[in-house]
Structure formats: structure tokens, C-alpha cells
Amino acid sequence: MSSETTTEPAPLSRRERRKAGRSHARDVAYGIVGVIGELLITLGVLLFAFLLWQLWWTDVVGNRVQADIVAELPFEPVPTATPTASGAPAGPVVAPPRRDEPPVMAEPPHATTFATIQVPRWAGEPERPISQGTDRATVLDVLGAGHYEGTAMPGGLGNFAVAGHRTTYAKPFNRVEELQVGDPLVIRTTDNIWYVYRVTSTEIVDPSNVGVIAPVPGDPGAVPTERLITLTTCHPMFSARERFIVHGVLDYWAPTSDGTPAELLGGA
């Protein structure tokens, strides 16, 4: 009905046409800028989501997966004392330290979880799995800490070298900087042996410094006479610039059938 009543608009003057053309060009420009702006905002939101995933979600998934791995390891039960008539309390048995020649297991296949690590200094941290290999896709990002292939196994002569994330992916070595000389690092293998190491030193090195995981740290090629442990993780946090290194030496070992190391019972 309106089309019948409207009159044909008067032809635009040249000036008006130019004005209309300019405003159309301006609309297009604003439209392009608007789309670019929306794309940038979207990119920002996605970057924020990536941070959320990397800094939070990988920890959520990693903690759950690593707890499951530890729970499913074929550990034999560690004995606990039964309450006696004389009134001795029930509870864990302290394993007597043994300082004779420790048993050493053979290196397992890649990505096999063969041990756990517990660090009393990191109170509140769960028992963490240690698996064979140190590449991120198959071990460090999915299984937790990883054993450098070719380095000594727990209790062995040489250097039992382990890498772990300090941030993200459940960050097993997050609190590495809290360690002090003399702190126990308790390793438990699937051969049901405890190995209690003690921290001897920490250092910060370049990523290329493979000498820290040599059988004799800092002296590649030397014949090892000590049973050492070395932890490597990133430093500073959220950076790949350097590596934080913890060295330790075996204090004693004990079969898990003898009990639990005093270090895990708040004893030392």
C-alpha cells in the first residue's frame, strides 16, 4: 500500500551522490575494522583459554592420571604392626636401614612406570610415579617424572637421573627449590625396595649441561664409585632458559617387606 502512495524520490544532485558514496565507503571501512576487532578479541579469549588449559587443566588431568598410575602399581603390602596384648600401638613398622650392596633392577621398556618418589620436605605432595624415558609426549606430559634412559637405576652405582615438570602437567617437581641439603628423597620400586637418598647439593645450569646426569656429575667418563640421584627440572618457573638440578647420594635401602622408612613416618 505504501508503494502506491510514495512518490518517486527526486534524483540526487552530484554533491549528494558524492556524499552518499563517501558514507558507503565509510561503512565498509568501519565494517572491516569491526571484524578485525572482533577477531582480535576472539584471539585474546582463546589465548586466555590456552593459559587456563596449560596452567590449570593439565594439573587437574595429570594429578588424577598419576594418582591412578601409583594406585595400580603392583606393590606388595608394607607390613604394619598388629596391636599386642602388652599394649604396643598398632601402626607402621619402621624398616631397619640396610647399607650393604643394594639390589638393582634392570631398565624397563620405554614409558614403563617402575618406581615412585616421595619427598617428606614437600609435605602434602602425593607419591609420584617415575617412568622410563624423558620425552614429553610419551612420558613427562602424561606419566609424570621420567628416568633418563641409560643412567643408573635406583640403588645402582652411578647416577639415577630423573626429570620432571616444575609447572603444569601435575608439576611433580614444583617445590624443588624448597629442598635443603640432607633432605631425604624416598624411591620405591616395583621390585618392592625402598631407596632413601639424601640431598647433597643443588645447582642451576644451562640446558645443554648434560654433565649433571653423568655417572659422576661434572666428570663424564669417570668410573662411578657412588650411588647418586639427580633431579632435573626447569628454571626459572615457566621458562626454558635454565635447569634446576638437585644432586643426592644413597643413604640406605630396605625391602618394603621390612616396613616403612622412618623418613616417611615423620621420624627423621
Partner 1 sequence: MYGWLWHRLPGPAAVRALILTVAALAVLAACFLWVFPAVAPFMPFNETTVGE
Active site residues: 165, 234, 243
> Taking CB under 8 A as the rule, does residue 205 contact partner 1?
yes
CA 147 – CA 231 distance, rounded (Å)? 9
Q: CA 104 from chain center: how many Å?
A: 25
Whether residue 258 contacts residue 189, with contact meaning beta carbons closer than 8 Å, is answered with no
Residue from 158, 164, 215, 261 in contact with partner 1 (CB under 8 A): 164
- Torsions phi, psi of 255, nearest 5? -70, 145
Chosen residue from 114, 122, 148, 253 binding partner 1 by CB under 8 A: 148
Of residues 10-49, those binding partner 1 (CB under 8 A):
34-35, 38-39, 46, 49
- Structural element, H or E, at residue 91: strand 91-92
By CB under 8 A, the count of residues binding partner 1 is: 40
Q: Candidates 119, 140, 179, 187: give the one binding partner 1 (CB under 8 A).
A: 140
Q: Which is nearer to partner 1, 46 or 71 (CB)?
A: 46
Interaction between residue 63 and partner 1 (CB under 8 A): no
The total of other beta-carbon atoms located within 10 Å of residue 226's CB is 13
Q: What distance in Å separates the CA atoms of residue 41 and residue 248, rounded to the nearest whole number?
A: 49
Does position 247 bind partner 1 by CB under 8 A? Answer: no
Residue choice 234, 246, 254, 264 for contact with partner 1 (CB under 8 A): 234
Q: Which stretch binds partner 1 (CB under 8 A): 12-20, 64-72, 84-92, 138-146?
A: 138-146
Chain-centroid distance, C-alpha 50 = 18
Please state, in angstroms and rounded to a whole number, the distance separating the CA atoms of residues 131 and 126.
Answer: 16
Q: Mapping DSSP to helix (H, G, I), strand (E, B) and coil, where does residue 242 land?
A: strand
**Positions that interact with partner 1 (CB under 8 A):** 34-35, 38-39, 46, 49-50, 53-54, 57, 134, 136-137, 140-141, 146, 148, 163-169, 173, 205, 207-210, 212-213, 232-234, 238-240, 243, 245
